[in-house]
Amino acid sequence: MLEIELKARVSDPETVKARLSSFMRFAGSFEKEDEYWMVPVVVSSVPTTGFRFRIRIEPDQTTITFKEKSYTNDIEVNNEVEFGVGNLAGFRRFIEKMSAQQLYTKQKAGTKWQNEDGIQAELVCVKGLGYFLEVELLFDEFSDPSIQETKARLMKIVEQCGLSSGDVEPKPYSQLLGVPRY
């Protein structure tokens, strides 16, 4: 799955929520706890020091995600692979056997919205950071979408919420949380 997203800082979440409700369909509330992990890799063909992945814990499911992430200005482009885990304790034992190390956690709560064009918006409160509007479009892995066209579509949603390009936050949450680079 290919995910193209951007996020914007929000100072007045009630106004943003009211605006979202005027042009998007409410898709529910959520709470997510994300754990970010790394498995050390000592293979010369792997250009990093480790393989990173996320465990997302929600009240009704647990999802593992690993991705290839890139940035084009303030747009995040992720090529993601996700799968569910029915036995989190067993999965934790499995990754411990691989010497996995937990890097950091992030907690988010908020509301989800969707429009008829497939755009998803989340108004989230990230613990320790405040409110953000996250807007994304998902594509199948064989798509080759225009980044600029997608950015324009996502920015239109941001602007309809009363925010501007100056509110767009280009840094990933890990940097905003002060997580050291590994």
Taking the C-alpha atoms of residue 14 and residue 52, their distance in angstroms, rounded to an integer, is 35
Q: What is the pLDDT of residue 42?
A: 64
Q: What is the pLDDT of residue 43?
A: 64
Q: What element of type H or E holds 93?
A: helix 88-97
Q: What is the pLDDT along the chain (182 residues), one digit of tens a residue?
A: 888 899 999 999 999 999 999 999 999 999 999 999 999 876 666 566 678 899 999 999 999 999 877 677 667 777 889 999 999 999 999 999 999 999 999 999 999 999 999 999 999 999 999 999 999 998 876 777 788 899 999 999 999 999 999 999 999 999 999 887 75
Taking the C-alpha atoms of residue 130 and residue 9, their distance in angstroms, rounded to an integer, is 8
Q: In order of start, what are the domains of the chain with their CATH numbers? A: 2-176 (2.40.320.10)
Q: Which residues of 11-21 are buried (b: 16+ CB within 10 A; e: fewer)?
A: eebeebbebbe
Q: What is the pLDDT of residue 116?
A: 93
Taking the C-alpha atoms of residue 12 and residue 119, their distance in angstroms, rounded to an integer, is 22
Taking the C-alpha atoms of residue 86 and residue 92, their distance in angstroms, rounded to an integer, is 12
Quickly list DSSP for 160-174.
HTT--GGGB--S-HH
Q: What is the pLDDT of residue 182?
A: 56
Q: What is the pTM of this model?
A: 0.86
3-state secondary structure of 61: strand
